[in-house]
Structure 1
Amino acid sequence: MNMEPAMEDRRSDEVLARILIVDDEPDIRESLKEILEDEGYQVLLAASAAEAEAVRREQRVDLVLLDIWMPGEDGISLLKRWAARGLEPPVVMMSGHGTVETAVEATKLGAYDFIEKPLSLDKTLLTIDHALEAARLRQENVDLKRQARPVSAPSGDSLAAAHLRQQLERVAQSDSWVLLSGPPGSGKEVAARYLHAHSRRAKGPFVDLKAAAITQPNIAVELFGSEQEGQVHSGRLEQAHRGTLFIDEIADMDLETQARLLSALQEGRLRRVGGMVPVQVDVRVVAATCRDLRAEMQAGRFREDLYYRLNVVPLRVPALAERRQDIPLLVAEFVRFYGERDGLSPRRFSPAALEVMSHYPWPGNVRELQNLVERLLILSEGPEVSGEEVERALGLDNRAAISDMEADEFSGTLKVARDKFERAFIEYHLARNGGNIARTAEAVGLERTHLYRKLKSLGIPY
């Protein structure tokens, strides 16, 4: 194979990407493999369409160099089949007998580019660079649209917020698993994303799995992927290859899935549901919970080996009530976010409004504050949010009536009083949301599963 000299030596100790070369000529496969490995890429080889399918079932690849003319199934036919299933990695076609019509057909089917043999090394490397960069930018754009967040870091000047940021930055330098604990709505996902952004895996994907939102029969497929009748579905673990997998409410996983997860991560490989061949994965796990995992473990609901594996680096995300001085900054960030994302008119929160917020207990934490700001931006009028508006939105506008209550209204223990308040608070939001559990859970700042438990404990019908 004739190849011109490379533009420059780009060798690196870091594996840049995983490239699959599909070509029936052994000399071309091996020459390309040697060159690309010198450039820092990890290279997989296939001599036919059937071998290429087998490799893609076993490994996640970032780019395919696909020859058009091969014995048996040719490259265009294979490309058509991949396109019908949803083309995932970018494909660059190669041919020594290329025509304009063939190149046009390949690009219509989704191929990124077409290069002719004998291959020019400069052009080949440049095409690979551009294809990988285009795929990265496309995925980044999808992620940004799907994961647009009002807060990208544990914001605030409080000691609690500053301490959490320092801990996350320190832990990010290692590759240890991390367990984030804290009450619902306190910002555990924000903390996980901040940790990922400051880690060596920052250029890799950040993939989240909300265990509480997935029914038990489906969680294995979501996590490990599946193979059925030639169709391959990549699970969250594969999607997070060379990046971070964030598992929210990991205690909601059943014991069998916990065991399978631990085994996959310790061995660095997994088996898809219905698959026979193990797939290699390199993933860092950041898990989150609002429960006491030690108590869950002692009750037999959480695996002991997984608990101790996660608990190597435990970090606690503080409740909003522990960092009240951060409320003005968070409010400003939410106002800016909803203005940019939804076009909501910015409004200034008056000192009286911020004062009311600073004394509210925030049972739903940062999530409840975010929902409140959005609601006030949508429903309120005028350039400024008053203290009275905040009180009404929080259901605190009946404080004057409290002074007229009979003394027996204040009898009983604090727990009884708290239960009465929680019951009234949840019933109010249930009524306001027409009995819809999902919207009520969001409004009060609870995960849906925890709201169900609260309804049951308070005897509220649903």
Structure 2
Amino acid sequence: MTGRHILVVDDEPDIRSLVQEILQDEGYSVATAEGGEAARKARRVRRPDLILLDIWMEDVDGITLLREWSENGGLPCPVVMISGHGTVETAVEATRLGAYDFIEKPISLAKLLLTVERAFESERLQRENVDLREHAQPIIEPQGKSPVMAQLREQAQKLAQHNSWVLISGEAGAGKGTFSRYIHDQSTRREGPFVEIAVGSMSAENSAAELFGAEDGETVNYGRLEQANGGTLCIGDIADMDLQTQARLLSVFQTHSFTRLGGSEDVEVDLRVIATTQRNLEDEVAAGRFRDDLFYHLNVVPLHIPPLRDHADDVHELLDYYIDNMVTHERLSYRHFTVAAQNRLRNYGWPGNIRELKNLVQRLLILGSGEEIEVAEVEQAISTQSVSGEPTAQIVPYDLPLREAREKFEHDYLLHQLMEVGGSVGKLAKRVGMERTHLYRKLRALGIDHKKGIE
């Protein structure tokens, strides 16, 4: 199973076979459907990366299918409409429902291939744009010139050349996610999707649906496994995964297929899994909290990321990197560390590792003034960091009335999250799951000046 998967839906056999042959010659995997019902079944069998959809068909017309797919959580992939006698009204409706483009019959093969290529390119750019918004310019390559980091990059490059599943371990904030992305970007799957999921953010009852997807009547919800098909799925904090979901994931490793919740047909996938953990999985296996067979499959090619204190020579380069990154992408004012401040940070223990360093730089750029960052300012910033590298929040006193205790927690929580997103209320709204207008009122009520990120 290589290449992109395209579903061709048309009630004319000659057109279906011609388009299928042309696309297969270009290296695409192609499935065909002779009508609306067949298209629904084909989507259950395998998630398409692009759909070529005829508008006029006898059983179910293309606009009805487009509306159905659009209303069930949005179109799962680009859809290109095919029509021999479309109207302006039809074109407007299809565009409103999310269709990428139109191809008129008789089909020009040159136009067909160009449209397909552009649709995939548009989807890739949209995916990268979402990634940039969510991750604020991901690091292309793990930073650091120390022998430790040079060896890790070399190991990661070797792992990238193989399709085996990978287990990355290390303390919180050490850079496990960065190396996961780096392995993907160095692999032959680099043009495919890179999908991340944090097990800790999923409830036990929803974890299976998140990973494997679900079917309910005509509604098909694709899980993270199908979203990552052809690319890489990064599973964060895999030690938190419940045993039942572990068993289903192991089955995917063994059979390269699975069944959606509520479904009855096997779904084939071709993807690589990179799992990360802060815990010692051998201890978890011994305690009966992690399956030994899944651990052995993952542990064939383990990669351990050491804490920052073990490669402190990289602190100076990391400081410079994050300053340049935040000045460029978050439009913060440029500042630089004095030599004394750099030496203090080089000898600091960094309990929160690289994440703590990044948070510290962001805090100093947002709250500080003046071009130089002196030792005294660094000492003050360090004193406000918790052992995990996160800004310290005072414990809410238990003797407060419930309303006051809740307000204090909300104040500390929102202030911390506001600093995490660089003072952007728009990003804060997405991060905490609140509507922006309501969030503005909440910030004002709690006395938080969002323009400064402080009271």
Shorter-chain TM-score tier? 0.7 to 0.9
Report whether the alignment pairs 1:117 with 2:105.
yes
**Contact 1:23–1:29 (8 Å) recurs in 2:** yes
Of 332, 347, 356, which residue of structure 2 is paired with 1:359?
A: 347
Report whether the alignment pairs 1:59 with 2:22.
no
The equivalent residue for 1:47 is 34
Q: Distance in 1 between matches of 2:362 and 2:88?
A: 54
The equivalent residue for 2:282 is 294
**Contact 1:430–1:440 (8 Å) recurs in 2:** no
Q: Would you say how many aligned residue pairs link Structure 1 and Structure 2?
A: 406
The equivalent residue for 1:126 is 114
Of 430, 453, 461, which residue of structure 1 is paired with 2:393?
A: 430
The equivalent residue for 1:323 is 311
Residue 378 (structure 1) shift? 1.4
Q: Distance in 2 between matches of 1:83 and 1:442?
A: 33
**Contact 1:150–1:333 (8 Å) recurs in 2:** no
Q: Distance in 1 between matches of 2:354 and 2:414?
A: 17
**Contact 1:429–1:440 (8 Å) recurs in 2:** no
User: Identity over the aligned pairs, expressed in percent?
Assistant: 50
Deviations 1:300-337, CA, capped at 9 Å, x for gaps:
11101001000000111011001111111111111112
Distance 1:197 1:226, change over 3 A: same
Moved more, 371-380 or 110-119: 110-119
What letter corresponds to residue 64 of structure 1 in structure 2?
Answer: I
Deviations 1:259-312, CA, capped at 9 Å, x for gaps:
111102321112122222221111101111111111111111110100100000
DSSP 3-state at the match of 1:45: strand
The equivalent residue for 2:232 is 244
The equivalent residue for 1:20 is 7
Structure 1: where are the runs of 5+ without partners? 1-13, 398-420, 446-462
Of 311, 327, 332, which residue of structure 1 is paired with 2:320?
A: 332
Residue 184 (structure 1) shift? 1.1
Q: Distance in 2 between matches of 1:244 and 1:326?
A: 28
Of 371, 376, 379, which residue of structure 1 is paired with 2:364?
A: 376
Of 79, 83, 95, which residue of structure 1 is paired with 2:83?
A: 95
Moved more, 99-108 or 78-87: 99-108
**Contact 2:36–2:62 (8 Å) recurs in 1:** yes
Q: Distance in 2 between matches of 1:291 and 1:128?
A: 44
Of 178, 183, 186, which residue of structure 2 is paired with 1:198?
A: 186
Q: Distance in 1 between matches of 2:191 and 2:305?
A: 25
Q: Distance in 1 between matches of 2:393 and 2:121?
A: 48
Q: Distance in 2 between matches of 1:338 and 1:428?
A: 18
Of 394, 397, 421, which residue of structure 1 is paired with 2:382?
A: 394
Of 218, 222, 236, which residue of structure 2 is paired with 1:230?
A: 218
Q: Distance in 1 between matches of 2:67 and 2:12?
A: 22
TM-score (norm 2): 0.83
What letter corresponds to residue 49 of structure 1 in structure 2?
Answer: G
Residue 230 (structure 1) shift? 2.5
Deviations 1:178-236, CA, capped at 9 Å, x for gaps:
11111111010001111111011111111111112222111111111122242222111
The equivalent residue for 1:187 is 175
Deviations 1:78-133, CA, capped at 9 Å, x for gaps:
22222323122222222233344433443333222222222221122222222222
Residue 394 (structure 1) shift? 1.2
Report whether the alignment pairs 1:37 with 2:24.
yes
Residue 438 (structure 1) shift? 6.8
Report whether the alignment pairs 1:268 with 2:256.
yes
The equivalent residue for 2:55 is 68
Structure 2: where are the runs of 5+ without partners? 397-407, 421-455
Residue 150 (structure 1) shift? 5.7
The equivalent residue for 1:310 is 298
Q: Distance in 2 between matches of 1:102 and 1:440?
A: 49
The equivalent residue for 1:279 is 267
The equivalent residue for 2:402 is none
Matches within 5 A, 1:134-149: 134-149=122-137
Deviations 1:328-381, CA, capped at 9 Å, x for gaps:
111111111221232211111011111111111111111111111111111111
The equivalent residue for 1:11 is none
Larger Rg: 1
The CA RMSD measured in Å over matched residues stands at 2.6
Distance 1:323 1:441, change over 3 A: farther
**Contact 1:24–1:70 (8 Å) recurs in 2:** yes
**Contact 1:353–1:387 (8 Å) recurs in 2:** yes
TM-score (norm 1): 0.82
Moved more, 112-121 or 301-310: 112-121
Q: Distance in 2 between matches of 1:177 and 1:441?
A: 35
DSSP 3-state at the match of 1:429: coil
Residue 147 (structure 1) shift? 2.4
DSSP 3-state at the match of 2:392: helix
The equivalent residue for 2:439 is none
Matches within 5 A, 1:154-233: 154-233=142-221
What letter corresponds to residue 263 of structure 2 in structure 1?
Answer: G
